[in-house]
Amino acid sequence: MNNLPPEIDKSEAQLPWDFTRPAAIEKAEFVEFNLNEAIKAMFPHWASGVWLDMHAQTQGLSRRPARNAFGYLLVVARQGTVIPQNFQFATVSNLTPSILFQSTDDVTFDADTPDVTPPPGVIISGMVVKLVPVESVVAGTVGNVPPDSVKLMLTPDTNVSYISNQESITGGTPAESDDDLRERVLEAIRYGISYAGRDADYVRWAKEIAGVGSVVVDPEWMGPGTGTVRLFIVDSNGVPANIEILEEVFDYIIRPDDRMERLAPINAILTVAAPEPVEITITASVLITADTDIPTVTEAFKLNLDKYWLSAATEFSSQQIQAGYGTNTVRYVFIGAALADTAGVIDYDHMSLTVNGAADNINIPIGFFPVTGEVTLSVY
């Protein structure tokens, strides 16, 4: 408008104003939104959605899909009973809908599974005890359930007298987020694409499997020159990976059924394992906001702890391991930071915070993983 002759009436509703206003609006929107978004899409650091997927493809990566939770049910049934593949089980509904699971294989009750016994009080006379592998019908975290949750059959069978999962069913994860995919893309750019069997290669290969959260590489753990590589896998939920994820990582890297597709070097001997849990108990006195309570704050604090455990247990580098540093550290001050950052917490009494009964760091050896034990918060 300033470029028009001064003698022209440029006020609103006059012809010069009406003719130039639409173009000005379009240009402003393009500069403010479209151009900025286009520039962001050009770099994996800021790209999102399908644009980030395209950056991933240039590095030979793709977004990981959601994963079904996996575990085992202890089932007691009459001799000769057959539970077919895709037979469905369910959790007990308690103010929330039941969660469905289905068997992943045919199981015939012809002989007891070795070393598997039902809980005390379960009648097993004339019956057979088996472990039935199951996965959640719906992918995602909804299938992650605690022990003794799955107790029902969708189609009742009078030959079955007992059902329960003795251990947690785990490994259910959502589709990979932009943040997680971006991290893998940037790692691939930072370390390059190699098939030499470097630590970075093993981490990249393992993370291509849905459900893998973090990977610690323990090279030559059976001695120099042995060619042994051990991977410790934590899933995307921050807990030690289940057997299904571990086996899938091993098969993907070693390709036992098709050596032509093998990723690992020929002389590498790979072991894939879940780290052993190390329970961390915490006590503290906190000052909380008026709109919350201790149980709510405790649950929020546990979520912050899970995020910290994931980073604390995976700070190992190959240089640390080769230099003989066989432990990592859960840091007392970081636990305090996680507590201070918890929603509803105004402050906490620094003298009251204890970690495993002391105001000190906790050493975590390689092959172990910190997990949340008893958390006791009180108001001061």
Per-residue model confidence (pLDDT) at position 85: 97
Question: Each residue of 314-353: b (16+ CB within 10 Å) or e?
Answer: bebeeeebeeeeeebebebeebbebbeebebbeebeeeeb
Q: Are 332 and 240 in contact (CB under 8 A)?
A: no
Per-residue model confidence (pLDDT) at position 323: 46
Per-residue model confidence (pLDDT) at position 253: 98
Q: How many CB atoms lie within 10 A of CB 258?
A: 8
Q: Is the pLDDT at 370 greater than 80, yes or no?
A: yes
Q: How many CB atoms lie within 10 A of CB 310?
A: 19
d(CA 241, CA 229): 18
Q: Which two tokens stand for residue 235?
A: 């899933």
Mention every residue, 6+ apart, whose C-beta is less than 8 A from residue 310. Answer: 213, 214, 234, 238
The predicted model gives 139-143 an average pLDDT of 96
Q: What is the mean pLDDT of the chain?
A: 91
pLDDT, tens digit (0-9, with 9 covering 90-100), for 285-336:
999 999 999 999 999 999 999 888 877 765 544 444 444 445 678 999 999 9
Q: Which two tokens stand for residue 154?
A: 């969708």
Per-residue model confidence (pLDDT) at position 325: 47
User: What amino acid is encoded at 245 in this protein?
Assistant: I
The predicted model gives 29-45 an average pLDDT of 88
102 confidence band (pLDDT: 50, 70, 90): very high
Per-residue model confidence (pLDDT) at position 118: 84
Helix 294-312 vs helix 332-340: crossing angle, to nearest 10: 140
Q: Are 53 and 62 in contact (CB under 8 A)?
A: yes
Chain centroid to CA 155: 32
Q: What are the domain boundaries of the chain?
A: 70-164, 194-273, 276-379
pLDDT greater at residue 3 or residue 102: 102
% of the chain with per-residue pLDDT over 70: 96
Q: Is the dihedral of CA 245, 246, 248, 253 positive or negative?
A: positive
Per-residue model confidence (pLDDT) at position 112: 86
**Of 361, 379, 358, nearest to 370 (Cα)?**
361
Q: Are 90 and 98 in contact (CB under 8 A)?
A: yes
Per-residue model confidence (pLDDT) at position 367: 86
d(CA 309, CA 313): 6
pTM for this entry: 0.81
178 confidence band (pLDDT: 50, 70, 90): very high
Mention every residue, 6+ apart, whose C-beta is less than 8 A from residue 1. Answer: 10, 16, 17, 20
Backbone torsion region of residue 322, taken as left when φ is above 0, otherwise alpha when ψ lies between -120 and 50, otherwise beta: alpha
Instruction: Indicate the length of the chain as a whole number.
Output: 380
pLDDT, tens digit (0-9, with 9 covering 90-100), for 182-220:
999 999 999 998 999 999 999 999 999 999 998 989 999
For the purposes of burial, counting CB atoms within 10 Å of the CB of 7, is it exposed (0-12), middle (13-18) or buried (19 or more)? exposed
d(CA 34, CA 248): 42
Helix 178-191 vs helix 49-58: crossing angle, to nearest 10: 30
The predicted model gives 86-91 an average pLDDT of 97
Q: Is the pLDDT at 234 greater than 50, yes or no?
A: yes
Per-residue model confidence (pLDDT) at position 4: 87
106 confidence band (pLDDT: 50, 70, 90): very high
Q: Is the pLDDT at 115 greater than 70, yes or no?
A: yes
User: What amino acid is encoded at 70 in this protein?
Assistant: F
Q: Is the pLDDT at 236 greater than 60, yes or no?
A: yes
The predicted model gives 368-380 an average pLDDT of 93
First to last CA, the chain: 65
DSSP SS3 for 68: coil
pLDDT, tens digit (0-9, with 9 covering 90-100), for 8-30:
898 998 999 998 999 999 998 88
Q: Is the pLDDT at 123 greater than 90, yes or no?
A: no
Q: Which two tokens stand for residue 378?
A: 């009180």
% of the chain with per-residue pLDDT over 90: 73
